[in-house]
Structure 1
Amino acid sequence: MSSVLLDTQVIVVGAGPVGLLLAGELRLGGADVVVIERLPQPTTESRASTLHARTMEFLDSRGLLEQFGELPGDVKGHFGGVPLDLTLDGPFPGQWKAPQTQTERILQQWAASLGVPILRGHEVTGLIVGPGRVLAEVTGQGAPVRVRSIFVVGCDGEQSTVRRLAEIPFVGRHATRELLRADVEGIDVPDRRFERLPAGLAIAARRADGVTRIMVHVFGSQPGRRDGPPVFSEIREAWRQVTGEDIGGGVPLWINSFSDVSRQAVCYRKGRILLAGDAAHAQMPIGGQALNLGLQDAANLGWKLALHVRGKAPSTLLDTYHTERHAVGVRVLGNIKAQATLLLGGPEVDATRVFFGELLGHARVRQQLAGMISGLDVRYDAGAGDDERLGRRSIPENVTVNQGKTSTSALLRGGRGLLVLRLGDPDRLARLRRDAAPWADRIDTVVAEAGTASGVLVRPDGYVAWCDDGLSGLPDALERWFGSPGKTIDTHLDLPDSTSFGRRKLMDRLAGKTALVTGASRGIGRAIAIRIADEGALVAVHYAANTQMAEDVVATIEKNGGRAFAVQAELGAPGDAHELFLRLEAGLKERTGSVELDVLVNNAGVMGGVPADETTAEQFDRLIAVNAKAPFFLIQRALSNLTSGARVINISSGLTRFANPDEVAYAMSKGAVEQLALHLAKPLAERGITINSVAPGITRNGNPVFDIPEAVEQMARLSPFGRVGEPQDVADIVAFLASDESRWMTGAFVDASGGTLLG
């Protein structure tokens, strides 16, 4: 039976609350997503029923709370069964009761309203991670399905198939104790809140519909050895043993158990595979923390992944998902271990429980534990600054904007970043608005007339990324959390309109190809190496001296699912081409069994920056040696390696067409590079090889001048697009010239100056 091939940008595996919330966040952020769920219908089991304050705030920021109706809430919580007041600042103190079935239904309706397709009754059986994409093999009713995407996120629970297929270690400890639980109809037992009896722990709560949820643990008992959930007879016997009561006359509607297992994935991201919720961490759901931890994973990941797959933010933003949430997971698992000891321990923990109860009488201790359980105490690294709000969640507040009253939660409904400025110094206000303007496609800027202490930048997940301290720093925060104002990456999916789940089509145009990029440890060369690797090529990352920077490029490529290795050679020195190719050939031979080369990018170069009347002979010789002589002899040396149909791309400069008196010698050297394409095009064409020149204009290259806003603004005026170039702008052009799609271009001069040369 032939398989169906579908394309999307992100595959979410698992349609529980975490997967559905993540899918909705991805769509809200503009990403194409499909959810794959093994169960043919939503579960009728309500394993979790508690929503904590931070989760309530987030759901409110998406306009979802109103769908829940009136939820019963209580500020009375517990820490390992020891009573704990959960009251803290915020609109939703305490904990709120909502059956998991209700939460799941509301999130599914929300995701569906945003256009998320859910493939129910389908199961992922294989993942093939390749350069630039992931192919998921899916079985279900009808023909097998293959789904191609840029990323796959496993939200498929403690026994995660995605985690297993990705071979991500799940470390920690096995279960040593368990709490049996059941929803039972037709019994009449007293309500019990963590009642410790001589033989064990008993909990009972009668619902409005007459069903009683009971939970029981016999002190000293080990988890039962069974393949599925416990049977009612086990629970009946344990309840009798602990309480002396017989519940055998009741009708069990739902039975399960949860243990004190404590495990965590060593990484929440492995290249193009990510984990969230119980797929990333397994823990005893004491106090409802497990569901809330997973939902907040999804809130943290969704906007970051959407920005990345849309080409708005680099992979470094996505890396913060693991950095931030893995640390939170470690802390939560730690407090749950402590709670499990207090809750399920026998008489040996009684003295500790008494002592702990006394400690909770101290306000600071109570607030510390309440913040930990509710999720309100989470603080991420938001960079330098002394403001206590930095990195913490933005406490929802009412504000007046354009003479109308609203709330910061309502202003986050669109899933975009939010910059809230306050009325004050008009010059400063204008400057901050001007600073934020280039990010208008990613953040909303409002000026509050009342209700806010000072300006703040709030991430889509509700955490403060910048506070107005009288200085600026706003552009740095915006770039860190929302990417460059220009396009920063290309995720290389451009699915045809006829597909079910997207509009962009998967591209791995250089799969199976080999490439050498000189000067690839930074700037334009770095962007080219990463871009070509994302297209599927094995890339040799050449560098002159900085080993660490080259290794960082290789690590970035490998994290994205590509292949690369570093080669070192000092260009401009005698024998440079031969030395470089000996190392290149050794690396290619080791990885491919051949020394064939399909793409050569001559990018390495040195700038002059010296007026003609001050240029020394040594400086001139250095420019010519690196910028002109080295590319000539690299091409000469490569002739025996280049395959039929290979591509040679030389990076020139817009300064060969745009006068700058301080760069006369540099422009001369780059002009010589352009002659290589002009004069070698015909002889190379006999082998189907193309050779072209790419001339960047003003492009961010790490020069300190790009850290000066006034200088950048002045340089941006030279382009009709009103901005300076980004390395990725040039890398996209090089990727096209490296592909078969450029086969009819050779000997060409390609203006990559963003229109600067138009005059």
Structure 2
Amino acid sequence: MARQTPDADVLVVGAGPVGLFLAAELRAEGAHTVVLERLPEPTGESRASVLHARTMEIFADRGFLPKLGELPPVGAGHFGGLRLDLADAAPDHPYAGQWECLQYHLEAELERHARDLGADIRRGHTLTGLSQSGDGVRAEVRRPDGTRYILTAGYLAGCDGERSTVRDLAGFELAGHEADKVMLRADIAGVELDNRRLQRFPDGIATAYRRPDGTTRLMVHRFGEQPAGEVTFEQVVTAWAAVTGEDIGHGRALWLNRFDNASRQVTEYRRGRVLLAGDAAHQQMPVGGQAVNLGLQDAANLGWKLARVATGQARPALLDTYHAERHPVGARTLAHIRAQAHLLFGTEEVTALRDVFGELLEFAGVRRHLARAISGLDVTEQPRPDRPAEPAPHTGGRARPLRPHPSHTHPSGRSTVDRLTDKTALVTGSSRGIGRATAIRLAREGALVAVHYTANQAAAEETVELIEKEGGSAFTVRAELGVPGDVHELFLGLERGLKERTGDTRLDILVNNAAVTSTGAAPEDLTPEEFDRYFAVNAKAPYFLVQRAIGQMPSGGRIVNITSGVTRTAVPDQLAYAMTKGAIEQLTFHLARILAPRGITINSVAPGITDNGSALFDNPEAVKAMAQLSAFNRVGEAGDVADVITFLTTDEARWITGAFIDATGGTLS
């Protein structure tokens, strides 16, 4: 039976700021996108009212910021009610500080922006059921007239707020702290109040801010009182009078709302083909506008990745980086907001803590650290690589040209150039030495790495553990090389591991590193069995590994064969070993012509004396003698060679093939 074409590449549930921005991001990348929103019309409410520096930067990058018009600066922010100027985050940043942008205005412009890009936004359409399979998602939807229909899509993104239907239907686990403090919030006309920012009184906390249109935004928390149910104007009037002693009963409520200090986050941002962003993924007190900014930055991270996977330009494993990057950011933000809640809602028991914290804020480094965290400027994540020249064709909207994302680094603090994002790699003999260093380097660049070993499973698992500690992805695969069936066994394990993690068996990078090294025997003492063993492992196995790999290697694939400096300098005790490495160089040289029409490069890298962790390198005198052979007067490190290998696997090395790369540290010069 023919597979049915889905109704959309991506279904977005929720047309708040996060859902609308995600829809725009998806359409900008060419993904056919449908947005469902249960409300028939925008509410006109403004729960959120400020944008922070990172969000402004993202909007400017997309060319969207001018559509919002001139946004006035709000002035200094706060941390737990203690004054903190967000401009301290980065004085030279064009958007440092915070900028007023009422939510109803932001939503209106984002909806216009998403529609202009071709998003299909369906208001009054409510998600009532959800299921997913290996091929996509199936959504049950109720129209405004009560009739129902089915929508199918490759993926679904839940951006439907803190009471997310998507989160419940898809079975996401929400962990964290329930609320025990409530703050009332209202927009009121017809009152004259002095502006105040989270001012503390004996019985509570109060905020008043008069907007240019004459409306006053109020927030009030009364110690010990946690009102439930729908917020009424009478509740606000009573609480305000109890805390401040001021009467606002003559005013007129334009909007009433409450928020609390719940702090919860889903344990995973992705379950199969369903992903969450914004308040659907994390619930937090919306202090200082962090909630909406956090959600918009979720959408910026997810949009291009989801679009590329949904349109077949990238493999599903790319979506795992969304959780890997945004979940830690959300967790850290929630922790900071919980700290602010303690400072805000505590009574006299937090006075000493507030005093000490206030002293710390006198230090520029402390202010900068906190301001960057609130502004999102310390968030470091994977940049979007260049997009293919021609997007996948889709109906129902217009794709827009790509814009580069800001450069970032990973939240863990490691560098993430990520030139190998969405690539898969096999490194033979990667349980130690150059192989291990290469596997780690490739993973740092974003590749999923298969760590091959022959016998030392513990060492291979240690390589994987080192990669995963840095936020990378890897798995082990075992096969003894140089024996009958070796390549078949290796690729069975490789393909199983790739299929489980990416959904297919494509291999982008092969590094033939495994080898039997010479024992230093004199040529006259070498036995036929030893000679055959050298060639079986060092030459025959790489030949057939390449033969097998190129059958599932796409255009742009990379093969790196590890040879040796002994093919260029006479070392009699290494004769048989040198012969096998010479064979590898010939394999590289001749295959370069054969593979070039497919866009696959193949190169040889020749290490010199390199510290592989063996006991020899614990002998200072031996190391000193070996170091003298290098132009740098030192012994090579595994990482020195791994960096050369890694370069050859990137797009920057696309014009290098059939080459012999001297990585001996000048030993051959």
Same fold (TM over 0.5): yes
Residue in 1 aligned with 2:95? 92
Write the distance in 1 (CA, Å) between the matches of 2:301 and 2:589. Answer: 33
Does the CA-based 8 Å contact 1:697-1:725 persist in structure 2? Answer: no
Q: Which runs of 5+ in 1 are unaligned?
A: 383-390, 392-415, 419-437, 443-457, 467-472, 486-519, 523-541, 565-608, 624-660, 671-693, 727-759
SS in 2 for 1:66: helix
Residue in 2 aligned with 1:478? 419
Q: Cα gap change, 1:543/1:278 in structure 2, threshold over 3 Å: closer, same or farther?
A: farther
Q: Is 2:172 the partner of 1:168?
A: yes
Does the CA-based 8 Å contact 1:717-1:723 persist in structure 2? Answer: no
Write the distance in 1 (CA, Å) between the matches of 2:499 and 2:591. Answer: 31
Q: CA deviation at 1:137?
A: 1.0
| 1:24-173 alignment, distance < 5 Å | 24-87=24-87, 88=90, 89-142=92-145, 143-173=147-177
Residue in 2 aligned with 1:319? 320
Q: Cα gap change, 1:698/1:16 in structure 2, threshold over 3 Å: closer, same or farther?
A: closer
Residue in 1 aligned with 2:594? 718
Write the distance in 2 (CA, Å) between the matches of 1:709 and 1:289. Answer: 57
Residue in 2 aligned with 1:705? 561
Q: CA deviation at 1:306?
A: 1.5
Does the CA-based 8 Å contact 2:186-2:256 persist in structure 1? Answer: yes
Write the distance in 2 (CA, Å) between the matches of 1:313 and 1:465. Answer: 21
| 1:403-418 alignment, distance < 5 Å | 417=385
Q: Cα gap change, 1:699/1:110 in structure 2, threshold over 3 Å: closer, same or farther?
A: closer
Q: Cα gap change, 1:213/1:9 in structure 2, threshold over 3 Å: closer, same or farther?
A: same
Equivalent AA in structure 2 for residue 57 of structure 1: E
Does the CA-based 8 Å contact 1:154-1:276 persist in structure 2? Answer: yes
Does the CA-based 8 Å contact 2:277-2:298 persist in structure 1? Answer: yes
1:112-170, CA deviations, whole angstroms, 9 ceiling, x for partnerless residues?
Answer: 11000011111111111112211111111354221111111100000111110111100
Write the distance in 2 (CA, Å) between the matches of 1:710 and 1:297. Answer: 49
Q: CA deviation at 1:86?
A: 1.4
Q: CA deviation at 1:711?
A: 9.1
Q: Is 2:318 the partner of 1:462?
A: no
Does the CA-based 8 Å contact 1:521-1:546 persist in structure 2? Answer: no
Q: Is 2:488 the partner of 1:556?
A: no
Residue in 1 aligned with 2:271? 270
Equivalent AA in structure 2 for residue 48 of structure 1: A
SS in 1 for 2:218: strand
Does the CA-based 8 Å contact 1:37-1:119 persist in structure 2? Answer: yes
SS in 2 for 1:478: coil
Q: Cα gap change, 1:706/1:91 in structure 2, threshold over 3 Å: closer, same or farther?
A: farther
Q: CA deviation at 1:284?
A: 0.1
Residue in 1 aligned with 2:329? 328
Write the distance in 2 (CA, Å) between the matches of 1:76 and 1:57. Answer: 19
Q: CA deviation at 1:294?
A: 0.2
Write the distance in 2 (CA, Å) between the matches of 1:662 and 1:193. Answer: 74
Q: CA deviation at 1:547?
A: 10
Q: Cα gap change, 1:696/1:86 in structure 2, threshold over 3 Å: closer, same or farther?
A: closer
Q: CA deviation at 1:551?
A: 6.8
Write the distance in 2 (CA, Å) between the matches of 1:713 and 1:82. Answer: 67
Normalising to structure 1: TM-score of the pair? 0.57
Write the distance in 1 (CA, Å) between the matches of 2:98 and 2:216. Answer: 20
Q: Cα gap change, 1:695/1:347 in structure 2, threshold over 3 Å: closer, same or farther?
A: closer
Does the CA-based 8 Å contact 1:6-1:146 persist in structure 2? Answer: no
Q: CA deviation at 1:365?
A: 0.5
**Identical-residue share of aligned pairs (%):** 45
Q: Is 2:185 the partner of 1:181?
A: yes
Write the distance in 2 (CA, Å) between the matches of 1:83 and 1:101. Answer: 27
Does the CA-based 8 Å contact 1:236-1:246 persist in structure 2? Answer: yes
1:403-427, CA deviations, whole angstroms, 9 ceiling, x for partnerless residues?
Answer: xxxxxxxxxxxxx646xxxxxxxxx
Q: CA deviation at 1:189?
A: 2.2
Write the distance in 1 (CA, Å) between the matches of 2:587 and 2:8. Answer: 40
Residue in 2 aligned with 1:18? 18
Write the distance in 1 (CA, Å) between the matches of 2:253 and 2:75. Answer: 30
Residue in 1 aligned with 2:439? none
In the alignment, which of 187, 207, 213 is matched to residue 211 of structure 2? Answer: 207
Residue in 1 aligned with 2:624? none
Write the distance in 2 (CA, Å) between the matches of 1:324 and 1:293. Answer: 13
Equivalent AA in structure 2 for residue 106 of structure 1: E
Give the RMSD, CA atoms, in angstroms: 4.4
Residue in 1 aligned with 2:310? 309
SS in 1 for 2:406: coil
Residue in 2 aligned with 1:689? none
Q: CA deviation at 1:461?
A: 3.6
SS in 1 for 2:112: helix
1:94-118, CA deviations, whole angstroms, 9 ceiling, x for partnerless residues?
Answer: 1000100111111111111100001
Equivalent AA in structure 1 for residue 599 of structure 2: R
| 1:151-300 alignment, distance < 5 Å | 151-222=155-226, 224-226=227-229, 229-300=230-301
Residue in 1 aligned with 2:620? none
Equivalent AA in structure 1 for residue 150 of structure 2: R
SS in 1 for 2:217: strand
Q: Which runs of 5+ in 2 are unaligned?
A: 392-401, 426-449, 453-486, 506-514, 516-526, 564-583, 603-669
Residue in 1 aligned with 2:639? none
Pairs aligned (count): 481
